[in-house]
Amino acid sequence: METKDKVLMINPEKCTGCRLCELVCAVKHDGFSNPARSRIRVMKWEMDGVYIPMACQQCQDAPCMGVCPANAISRNDELNIIEVDYDKCIGCRSCVAVCPFGAMGFNSIDRKVFKCDLCDGDPQCVRFCEVQAIEYVDADDVAVLKKQTAAAKLHATSGKVALKTA
Amino acid sequence: MALDRKIAYINLTTGDVEVKPIPLDVRKKYIGGRGLDAYLLLNHSKKGCDPLGPANPLIVSGGILTATCASATARTHIMAKSPLTGLLGSANMGGFFAPEMAWAGFHHLVIKGKAKTPVYLFIKNGTIEIRDAQDIWGKTTTDTQWAIQEELNDQEVKSLVIGPAGENLVVFANVMTGIKNAGGRTGMGAVMGSKNLKAIACRGTMDIKIAHPVEALEYNKRFIDQITSAKVNKTQGTLGTPMIWGATNSWGGVRTRNFQYNQCEYADDIEPENIDEICEETMGPYHMAGCFGCQVHCRAQYRIPSGPLKGTYDEGPEYTSQGAFGGEPDTPRAETVLVGNHLVDQYGMDNLEVGSLISWAMELYEKGIITSKDTDGLDLRFGNDEALLEMVERICYRKGKVADTLAMGGIPASKIFGKNSFDYLIQVKGMSNLHSDERATPALALNVATSSRGSDHLRSRPAIDLYHLPEKVLHKIYGNPVAYKGKLSSEHTEYIGKAWQVFWQENCYMGVDCLGICKYHTTFLGATLPNFEDWPKVLYYNTGLEFTPKELWDISERCNMLERLFNIREGLTRDDLEKGDMLNHRYFDEPCLRGAPDVVGMMINKKKFVKMIDEFYEHKGLDKNGNPKPETLKRLEIQNEPSHML
């Protein structure tokens, strides 16, 4: 599978807040059901019915990579992911502190940091999300898809027929 | 492991907490969830105990598969003796509470006693703390949940709560979690209120080991594909349960003006498509929410579009609220349904019971059995939206004679209203019927009459009976995992074979309730959905336990019989109009006046109906009076219950 430059694209508007992504992520990686082990988490404002899935953005200039004193975090260009080398990791959690998205987790059962690895190119959160609130797309396409949606919205304000979007 | 989840016994009078493991042989006999709850209720309650007294055990549980890698294991089950019926109290709800309780280490809670002042339980990773709730007493269901999250400084805390109705001991007060997930029926909120227990809050990060994670994940994908490919679930995921409103109403299956008509006229305003349209401005194109791990996502989200509560967020309305605040009182207007739904959510009351009882009171008012003197001047006519909504509030706070009387439940109220008010009360075992009208559907009428928790559509309803499936298909569904040699009929107005279908569904629904899975994931609204044949695999991959389909069927039958034993102990007799398996006389005496040609003129034939009950008892292994035969109890290995093993 060609995975280079593919990214997670999250559309919170579509999210139903069911948290199946958290469940399958934890089971796939660790064999346990436990949201505390999930690489993706759905942040919820139940009183307003707002649900926003949060996951690693696999940043180009990743703060976690920059802050790591043990050089344990590196970019894997083959899979387009930021990964942790557990042989080098000293468990200082600087990466957890510095991540602007809260995407680097710390698992207090195994005493290890953990993050999204895109399931080596077959992200289970995407596979199980029936409403497609999480999609796995070419990095180039993200902006195009967003342009399409925004354009359709603009078109709709003209009062003409609604357009189909991806 | 799911199997290492514990059971906690909590005494609110003494503050004692005892935690025990659930032995494997108990699991193999009762599985978990509602089935094990039934065992615990029978074993921990004494005959004739006061439902609102400290000795009534309140049991809260998740299923054996709760929070495992199976689909839609969101259900929480609540059981106790019911203050509404005096018989089995049992309620089931979605949301996120049961999974959080499982991650916090527990599958079952047995709560006894009564706290001196209002308290709530906080359960976190194996520990249980009783905390003061005096500051949150009086708050609505949602405000209670946010206040607890704030007090514990943790947004991930999930709570099961009561609202003001539960505190005020309205006997059909419910328990709630989230915005609108309700353990609605049989007054479990009043039981909580009677114990001074405002809420149970959970937070857990304890691992649930999946026995065979790779297989569980792959099987779950197949399971979900099977579920989401069913057209009924696709529609459900766009419109929610109101998807059935239009078809049911136009056909003539919605009781209106209490029970005077079987169709609500001019009801397009409350169709889900219309509600979507008037809410779209604030909600946007995506407006459905899901319970834990569920891909059906049937909970609609809305903001009240106009009036004094304009902009207020809520979820629903479900089909039940359409009937309760639209059909039965004949007020089919979107704003009325949306506001009525919001009020019961906030107060914590069963929407179905509230709507049914108000509509009953409206009929009594129009017939002169109660007067404007009794209602403090409120013009309680059918079609009066304002009076309807006013009554919802009055019932919650027990304001005025009529509302306070209704808050005691239908049968006690009928004794106070007197005259022939009881004849107009549409109930079974003291609990109001759903707004569906079963006069043209004997199978559904039998289900309502024999349901273990009083009149109910989620205990044994063969809903697919309305689809006119070919007999061959019916035999394929209803002939597994136990062969059925008798005849089955595709015709919904028939009486042939319906007793078996109701018996089969009763076992099927007990099965999902033991597993902790939602009923939309089994043979309820969709004929192609998983049941006994599919469950052994899900159980094996997730827990490592091995069952055959027939073994699961036997367990379901056993657990249903435990519920029957409880009801018999508390006074169920076959033909008793207050506590028996019998319908209101109107089903047999008043023909349907509206609807499709094959519905107009229909009513239940009493002779055939009685024969159907005989057959149903035979399938269940009961004698003619509805009591279990000794050999049945022996076959189900419950001849020594209550055995007080757990």
Answer for the pair B251, B598: CB distance below 8 angstroms, yes or no.
no
- Residue B455 reports pLDDT greater than 60: yes
Residue B209 and residue B212: Cα distance in Å, rounded?
A: 9
Taking CB atoms and an 8 Å cutoff, what residues of chain A touch B213? 27-28, 31-32
The reply to whether B411 and B468 lie within a common domain is no
CATH of the domain at B275: 1.10.569.10
Nearest to B288 among A16, A19, A47 (CB): A16
B552/chain A closest Cα distance in angstroms: 24
Residue B119: give the domain boundaries. Answer: 2-203
For chain A, the structural domain boundaries read 6-139
Q: Which of B9, B202, B210 is nearest to B99 (CA)?
A: B202
A34, closest residue in chain B (CA to CA): B207
Instruction: Please report how many Cα atoms fall inside a 13 Å half-sphere around the Cα of residue B203, on the Cβ side.
Output: 13
Task: Supply the pLDDT for residue B83.
Answer: 98
- The whole-number average pLDDT for the span B131-143 is 98
Taking CB atoms and an 8 Å cutoff, what residues of chain A touch B221? 127-128
Paired residues of B622 in beta bridges: B628
CB contact under 8 A, A19 and B292: yes
Can you point out the beta strands (E) in B82-157?
Answer: 88-93, 106-112, 119-124, 127-132
CB contact under 8 A, B210 and A18: no
**Is B426 contained in some domain?**
yes
The reply to whether B277 and B359 lie within a common domain is yes
Q: Is the CB of residue A20 less than 8 Å away from at least one CB of chain B? A: yes
B238, closest residue in chain A (CA to CA): A131
- Bigger pLDDT: A152 or B169? B169
Q: Is the CB of residue B210 less than 8 Å away from at least one CB of chain A? A: yes
Task: Supply the pLDDT for residue A3.
Answer: 56
The reply to whether B103 and B248 lie within a common domain is no
Answer for the pair B395, B354: CB distance below 8 angstroms, yes or no.
yes
Residue B627 and residue B621: Cα distance in Å, rounded?
A: 9
CATH of the domain at B88: 3.60.9.10
Task: Supply the pLDDT for residue A165.
Answer: 64
The reply to whether B486 and B620 lie within a common domain is yes
A15, closest residue in chain B (CA to CA): B289
CA quadruple B343, B349, B350, B354: dihedral sign: negative
Instruction: Please report how many Cα atoms fall inside a 13 Å half-sphere around the Cα of residue A24, on the Cβ side.
Output: 28
Task: Supply the pLDDT for residue A2.
Answer: 57
Task: Give the burial string for B348-371 (b: 16+ CB within 10 Å, else e).
Answer: bbbbbbbbbbbbbbbbbbeeebbe
Helix (H, G, I), strand (E, B) or coil at B209: strand
- What is the per-residue pLDDT across B391-403, written as a single tens digit (0 to 9) for each? 999 999 999 999 9
- The whole-number average pLDDT for the span B530-537 is 96
Amino acid, single-letter form, for residue B74:
A
Question: Residue with structure tokens 């958290």?
Answer: A22
Here the tokens at position B143 are 């405000």
Question: Residue with structure tokens 């967003």?
Answer: A146
Answer for the pair B384, B391: CB distance below 8 angstroms, yes or no.
no
The reply to whether B403 and B265 lie within a common domain is yes
The reply to whether B169 and B49 lie within a common domain is yes
Q: Is the CB of residue B206 less than 8 Å away from at least one CB of chain A? A: yes
The reply to whether B332 and B377 lie within a common domain is yes
CB contact under 8 A, B313 and A128: no
Beta-carbon neighbour count of residue A45 at 10 Å? 11
- What is the per-residue pLDDT across B327-365, written as a single tens digit (0 to 9) for each? 999 999 999 999 999 999 999 999 999 999 999 999 999
CB contact under 8 A, B69 and A35: no
- What is the per-residue pLDDT across B47-62, written as a single tens digit (0 to 9) for each? 999 999 999 999 999 9
What stretches of B479-636 show up as alpha helix (H) in DSSP? 498-515, 535-543, 549-569, 586-589, 606-620, 630-635
The reply to whether B40 and B109 lie within a common domain is yes
- Which of B96, B286, B315, B346 has the highest number of chain A CBs within 10 A, making it the mutation to test binding with A? B286
CATH of the domain at B580: 1.10.599.10
The reply to whether B563 and B587 lie within a common domain is yes
**Cα–Cα separations (whole angstroms), residue B262 to B367, B406, B442:** 19, 24, 15
All residues at 6 or more sequence positions from B487 whose CB lies less than 8 Å from its CB, including other chains: B471, B496, B497
The alpha carbons of chain B give a radius of gyration, in whole angstroms, of 23
A49, closest residue in chain B (CA to CA): B301
Structural domain count of chain B: 3
**Is B437 contained in some domain?**
no
- The whole-number average pLDDT for the span A106-112 is 91
Indicate whether this complex's ipTM tops 0.90: yes
Nearest to A34 among B103, B179, B220 (CB): B103
CB contact under 8 A, A19 and B142: no
**Is B288 contained in some domain?**
yes
Taking CB atoms and an 8 Å cutoff, what residues of chain B touch A130? 224, 228, 295
CB contact under 8 A, A31 and B220: no
Q: Is the CB of residue B315 less than 8 Å away from at least one CB of chain A? A: yes
The reply to whether B417 and B557 lie within a common domain is no
Q: Binning pLDDT at 50, 70 and 90, where does residue B259 land? A: very high
Taking CB atoms and an 8 Å cutoff, what residues of chain A touch B146? 47
- Residue B284 reports pLDDT greater than 90: no
Q: Is the CB of residue B213 less than 8 Å away from at least one CB of chain A? A: yes
**Is B535 contained in some domain?**
yes
Task: Supply the pLDDT for residue A160.
Answer: 66
- Residue A1 reports pLDDT greater than 60: no
Here the tokens at position B419 are 């005259």
- Last residue within a domain, chosen from B432, B461, B479: B432
The reply to whether B427 and B452 lie within a common domain is no
The reply to whether B474 and B376 lie within a common domain is no
Say which CATH class A6-139 falls into.
Answer: alpha beta
